[in-house]
Amino acid sequence: MAAVELRFGAASGQSEPPNRPLLIVGQLPNLQKLPWEEISGKLLPQVSEEMVCERSDVFASGCAIARAFPLFSRRSSASRRTDKRVVTVEFLLVGQNNGPIEEATLECLASAADGIRLAARIVDTPCNEMNTDIFLEEIKMVGDALGIVPTIIRGEELKEQGFGGIYGVGKAAETPPALAVLSYLPEGATQTIAWVGKGIVYDTGGLSIKGKTTMPGMKRDCGGAAAILGAFKAAVKQGFKDNLHAVFCLAENAVGPKATRPDDIHQMYSGKTVEINNTDAEGRLVLADGVAYASKDLGADIILDMATLTGAQDRDNAQSSCAGLFIGAHIGFDWPGTWVHVDIASPVHSGERATGFGVAFLLALFGRASKDPMLNLVSPLGAGTDQHYAMSEGDGGMSKRRRLV
């Protein structure tokens, strides 16, 4: 699957498709609505790939297909392959509004798929190939593609500038921790949005070390930062109307002579001090610095943090809630903006493979802030929320507290 180029296209009708196998995918009710004449020619010896769905499901279907074609592989057989296969996915729409798919929709699907596969590749890659230095290179490559130069604070600079959470978690590793920011500032923006991602490239648990059965798979602890990188690339490429910052809190939670100890006290970027009683609760520390930076330095009106934080799907809700509230405390519970905490510990992978989860989620959730018609269509937020403000008693006017877009 790693040597696959994924393309999206409109239905080609009865034209003779390339000589490769046919795969028709769709929910059973949609497949039953498909007229025979639309596919009969494709079932001859020379055929192509078809996705059957309603128009409202095109985005979700395209993103699901992208997850099925991961980019990372180190299998011996994969390294011997030199040919690159091309998978072209055509959409056959059924139900109401089943006309041809617009070119703009196909471009949106291509951007989303690229972001999903990028995020999944980063999460699948082991730490010996995806340490903090290499993750920074991934950020720089996305910046280069978009014409954006990232802001990077790393190593001892973090300590000097007061980022005690990120520095404390990552100071024992061979490659230094870092805070990196990609910023997109379009003309006419009316608000500032910050996505803050947890990027722990490997989590041993630190001195509160994980066991031999719980440590494998901890290369995936950068899933939040990977998803934000993929979503930022796609969102900017498709046109974003508001200021958008992607904040990456990168560290390896390693064991070594410089590792943080239980009982150590860190001075956080928020100004608060934190006593450590479990070095395996590192995610909330790096995110606390990240959200504080988004509030204080980036002037964000809306802050969303995304992380593989607590395995919340597998534990009591109290674990996830306490971790989230810890992060929120470093913005301040009287902060007038909107803060969202998203824990993706469970959906970041399926079995041994990363899913790229979070990319489509962010693109859809903030779809109303996009210029792209497809992302506006799939956003769960209605048009009436665009200018929704909450009145703040006592100040005689509007506060910054609002819905997501």
349 Cβ contact list (under 8 Å, min separation 6): 123, 217, 220, 223, 355
Catalytically annotated residue among 210, 353, 401, 403: 210
Catalytically annotated residue among 42, 284, 368, 402: 284
Burial of 271 (0-12, 13-18, 19+ CB in 10 A): exposed
CA distance 30 to 28: 5
> Does the annotation count 74 as an active-site position?
no
CA distance 145 to 162: 31
Helix (H) or strand (E) segment spanning residue 273: strand 273-275
CA distance 60 to 360: 8
Spell out where 294-370 has E strands: 302-307, 338-343, 349-350, 353-354
> Does the annotation count 159 as an active-site position?
no
Decide if 308 contacts 272 (C-beta within 8 A). Answer: no
CA distance 201 to 250: 7
What distances in angstroms separate CA 312 from CA 82, 219, 348, 359, one per listed residue? Answer: 41, 18, 12, 19
State the DSSP code for 235.
Answer: H
Phi and psi at 344, nearest 5°, equal -115, 30
The 10 Å CB-count burial string (b at 16+, else e) for 226-247 is bbbbbbbbbbbbbebbbbbbbb
Kindly report the CA angle at 327 between 325 and 330, in degrees rounded to 5?
110
CA distance 177 to 398: 39
Beta-sheet pairing, 349-350 with 353-354: antiparallel
CA distance 325 to 268: 15
* Catalytically annotated residues: 210, 284
